Structure 1
Amino acid sequence: MKKRRTLMNALKISFIILSSLAFLSMSAHRANKVQVQGRNFILPTKEGVLVAKFGFRIHPIIKKIRNHPGIDIRVQRGTKVYAVEDGTVEKKITTYNKNRGYGKFIILAHQKDLLTRYAHLDSILVKKGQEVKRGTLIGLVGETGLATGPVLHFEMIKDMKKVDPENYIDFTVLSKDN
């Protein structure tokens, strides 16, 4: 009887924690809705399956609840990655470091305090300081960093805050992972 009561209490606590995380995720999602006027972003890949959304989740490798600051698109290794908007290559990390979850990645700086990050890349095809146009091929997908397979991790950062890319780009044309 005591074991059953302990189990019920553990389930109640788990439910409260998960409910709180869901509420925080929704609140963060609403708070992160900011407008970038006059933008016409394109998809960073022309294909793929959206497998992870912005917000809190259980990390697939470290198995702990973490805020996922972008979206993940599962694709084949070597899939082309494109700049979603005109910008300048602000940063590129080409060395692999297991402690860096992003693996190889690029950050593009756009007008109006907007940055985009493209992570888990196999190859980076641009140089730091290079100006790129919307649709420029900038890299190829890999599975560097903390990735469970070939995936593009894509982030948008507005005024130094990570925001939900789905507020800016229509990812519905990609398949969804159920």
Structure 2
Amino acid sequence: MISKFKFVGKSASLLCAGLIALHAMNVHAHDFSAGALVIDHPYATPSIKGAANGAAYFRSIENKGKELDRLIGAKTPVAETVELHEMKVEQDVARMRELTAIDLPSGEKVQFRHGGGYHLMLMNLKQPLIVGERFDLTLKFEKAGEKTVKVWVQQPRNMGNEHHKH
């Protein structure tokens, strides 16, 4: 009888370990699909004290389809509006500009990373963005339609002074 309990105990331990590992993979597997698009790891940086605006990013948006799609807008309950932005360094000066759309070419991954390139500006935040919190962000694509993703507020490893202050 004791050996059965040891076996059950070991089985239960293995089952628990497996469930914990599966949960950990789901926590780290932070991507969403919208048609042929894969939105990988939506995240936002924490608010700087007194800042009215914030920024949201993705590791990438991959278009696995055969046609170009475009990100044409976004909205979130944590900000009054969301703007599509691009940052470029021109003649040693970082320049930010609002875009009406961002192309997502067929078969390519487009990065939306802090520190440069494409990102979403969260204008007139309704609350500060705090590390560890999550919020909904609805993305609007020309072909794939609307998709709501969960954005995690996290401190990027190499976040220095490049955080957006506009």
Return the index of the structure with the highest Cα Rg: 2
TM-score normalized with structure 2 length: 0.30
Greater fraction of residues in strand: 2
